[in-house]
Amino acid sequence: MKRFWNILLAGLCCVFFAGLCYAQEATDFQPATTNVWGAEYPRVDSQGRVLLRVKAPDATKVRINFWSGPKAEMTKQSDGFWTFTTPPMVPGLHYYNFVVDGAEVSDTGSHAFFGGGKHASAVEVPEPGSTYYSIQDVPHGQVREVWYNSKVTGNWRHALVYLPPSYETQTRQRFPVLYLQHGGGEDETGWIRQGRANFILDNLIVAGKCKPMIIVMAYGYARRAGQTTPALTGPPAGSPERMRAMQEMTSAFADDVTQALIPFIDKTYRTIPDRDHRAMAGLSMGGMQTFQITLKNLDLFSYIGGFSGAGGGMGTSPLDLKTAFGGVLSDAAVFNKKVRLVWIGIGTKEPERMYQSVNAFHQTLEKAGIKHIYYESPGTDHEWQTWRRSLAEFAPRLFSK
């Protein structure tokens, strides 16, 4: 009899503690910081799992589609809501949508961000212990919207400009400039809304880890006045038609940057208007554009950065440095003396083709004796956490002896 009561007591304890653990696990989920005001879902827990919910009482099938993550069937509940909990996800901002009976649907509980050529839902999974991209109780710079008239494109162009905290207080001080580009399918808002570049710089500056600088983020798609829009989405990636369209757009954008944007910024803000105080960097497509523009205009730039995108395009074969970019990389000694920094970054979990392309460019530069820094973001894909980390590593190396 005593054994019976011991077994019963042990069983009750197991049930109690299991329920307690379940309750703790359930209450560990909190509304995501990317939710709209008052929305309880999506919810994120301390393990990086995301709990999603969508109401579709008449649907027969609902799937969750994370662009770089789970693609799975959701479970219908008795109240007409469909739910799904992801496995632990890597930190960062994750784009997603619901697929309700075959139709793509945004999550009305999440803010929309422009990515993939459209506004899409996204959820932020925090990086434990990291504050470098979070808003802190420190002096903050301003982000301004500007419009400039471009004779290259024949229209008004839009850009965002980050001014460091001291820009308004140190009115006689002039500042170096970083031109920072978004990736394919994104726009000039990406580095602020998704990338949190302003908070990254605020935190680096107050910690004394980087120089106060102006950051200019321009719209990277361009066409010359009178020309039709290049077909960037129709032809398959890597096809001659797609590559030709990309070259036409990059050429127009390069002229817009060098002939319209830089003169406008130097005229409008207190910049130091020389190559030793001018940098350019970009992610993915923006990284490719950066190398195309800077290496052909070394009279304008002395700092160069590519985040998940570099001068090698999407191929894995080594570049011919004697002919690439007009031959500026053919003489390592001359190039190393002229260019203060070449920086290349990539995530370790990026698609194999992208990883191999950037790594091949790194290997080519290394064998040629071109001085550069190569960085790998551990565990991240072709996503914003890779690029946030890249900016946090790149910015402290700018404009410093």
Q: What are the tens digits of pLDDT across the range 89-147?
A: 999 999 999 999 999 999 999 999 999 899 999 999 999 989 999 999 999 999 999 99
Domain that holds residue 364: 142-397
Q: Taking 50 as the threshold, does the pLDDT of residue 400 lie above it?
A: yes
Contact status, residue 372 vs residue 340, Cβ threshold 8 Å = no
Which amino acid is present at 81?
F
> Is the pLDDT higher at 98 or at 242?
98
What mean pLDDT is predicted for residues 335-355?
95
Q: What is the pLDDT of residue 250?
A: 87
Taking 90 as the threshold, does the pLDDT of residue 384 lie above it? yes
- In this predicted structure, the answer to whether residue 11 has a pLDDT above a threshold of 60 is no
Residue 144's pLDDT is 97
Q: Which CATH number does the domain housing residue 74 bear?
A: 2.60.40.10
**Mean pLDDT within 361-388:** 95
According to the model, what pLDDT value does residue 49 have?
Answer: 96
Domain count, the chain: 2
Q: Do residue 178 and residue 324 come from a single domain?
A: yes
Q: For 152-206, how does the pLDDT look when each residue is reduced to its tens digit (9 = 90+)?
A: 999 999 999 999 999 999 999 999 999 999 999 999 999 999 999 999 999 999 9
Residue 15: inside a domain? no
Identify whether the C-beta of residue 162 lies closer than 8 Å to the C-beta of residue 198.
yes
Query: Rounded to whole angstroms, how far apart are CA atoms 295 and 232?
Result: 23
Do residues 66 and 175 both lie within one domain? no
Do residues 158 and 223 share a domain?
yes
Of 97, 125, 153, the last residue of a domain is 125
pLDDT at 27: 65
- The residue length of the chain stands at 401
pLDDT value, residue 33: 96
Q: In terms of domains, do 113 and 147 share one?
A: no
Q: Who wins on pLDDT, 139 or 68?
A: 139
For residue 378, being part of any structural domain is answered with yes
Q: Which is nearest to 58 in space by CA: 80, 82, 83, 84?
A: 80
Average model confidence (pLDDT) across the chain: 89
Residue 288 counted as domain residue: yes
Examine the fold and report which residue of 72, 94, 125 is the final residue of a domain before the chain moves on: 125
Do 201 and 282 sit in the same domain of this protein? yes
Please indicate, yes or no, whether residues 170 and 121 belong to a single structural domain of this protein.
Answer: no
Tell me whether residue 328 is in a domain. yes
Indicate if 152 and 255 belong to the same structural domain.
yes
Whether residue 93 is found in the same domain as residue 212? no
Q: Does residue 22 surpass a pLDDT of 80?
A: no
For residues 222 and 207, give the distance between their C-alpha atoms in angstroms, rounded to a whole number: 37
Q: Residue 316: CA atoms inside 13 Å, Cβ hemisphere, count?
A: 6
* Residues with Cβ within 8 Å of residue 123, at least 6 apart in sequence: 32, 34, 42, 44, 50, 93, 94, 96, 110
Closest CA relative to residue 354, chosen from 279, 250, 283: 283
Q: Which of 125, 150, 172 is the last residue of a domain?
A: 125
Which of these, 218, 186, 193, lies nearest to 116 by C-alpha position? 186
Which CATH number fits the domain that encloses residue 244? 3.40.50.1820
Residues 48 and 185 in one domain: no
Same domain for 232 and 336, yes or no, is yes
Q: Give residue 25's pLDDT.
A: 45
Q: Give 280's strand partners.
A: 179, 304
Determine the Cα–Cα distance for residues 301 and 340; give it in Å rounded to an integer: 9
Instruction: Check pLDDT > 60 for residue 12.
Output: no
Whether residues 87 and 162 fall in one domain: no
Per-residue pLDDT tens digits for 270-326: 999 999 999 999 999 999 999 999 999 999 999 999 999 876 654 545 678 888 888
Residue 139 DSSP symbol = -
* Same domain as 79, residue 217: no
Residue 16's pLDDT band, with cuts at 50, 70 and 90, is very low
